A = this chain, B = another copy of it.
């Protein structure tokens, strides 16, 4: 795994290539626009899928990376579809956190129907804790990612109360551009009847935007309460 020359500000942990774009593409773009150093770490290569190949998926991912203007992107090469929260997988993920040193982690929400997402969510929690351990054999220096926020996936149609919604209005078109890079997943062989899977993604962002009186938004959950220092920071 190549290592960025400086610590990241934000790291998105995604089970498969395209999850980051679908769930937090707008947030990534906004953070990059704010000058934050943003990375995405996929846990698996996401293949096989009906129309994907590892090569094609990698090309699509590279294209999306460009659209998102990511500071860093990597893949932990854990087994797709068979992702399990083992001690070994936790160890590898904790090692990645130590190399990337993100202040904030975005992780999949803990309730989902895709077993890889459920495993990924638990793995992030545990690896974040391991990342700070001293006197361990995890590579790199002990490091505590300050915050972890959870994003909703598209596999389960739930909507728990978010801890906050992020305004992504200025970035919805580029978010959709990034999503569309995954042609093998999002477009090819998919029904073109309204609403398409792309419509679903855009329309949900529209809804979350509505909840905060903005055109588009992306929701996040936090286990802990949210602290603020200035009312004017709230939309």
Contacts and interface: CB of A to CB of B under 8 A. Distances in A.
Interface of A: 10, 30-31, 34, 36, 48-50, 81-82, 84, 87, 90, 104, 111, 113-115, 118, 122, 125-126, 128-130, 133-136, 147, 149, 155-159, 161-167, 194-195, 200, 203-204, 206-207, 209-215, 217, 219, 223-235
Given A34-B230, A210-B200, A161 B194 contact: no
B211 A157 contact: yes
A81 B125 CA distance: 13
Given A36-B231, A167-B227, 11 more contacts: A48-B135, A49-B134, A113-B129, A114-B129, A118-B125, A147-B231, A164-B225, A164-B227, A165-B225, A195-B210, A203-B206
B128 A231 contact: no
Given A157-B213, A166-B228, A226-B226, A81 B130 contact: yes
A233 B228 CA distance: 7
B227 A215 contact: no
Given A81-B133, A206-B206, A210-B203, A233 B229 contact: yes
Contact of A136 (B81, B84, B165, B207): B81
B206 A157 contact: no
B195 A204 contact: no
Nearest to A156: B223
B50 A229 contact: no
A161 B162 CA distance: 12
Contact of A156 (B200, B214, B224): B224
A31 B231 contact: yes
The 8 lowest CB-CB distance pairs between A and B, nearest first, are A227-B235, A212-B227, A207-B207, A115-B126, A233-B233, A48-B135, A157-B224, A164-B226
A226 B231 CA distance: 11
B162 A223 contact: no
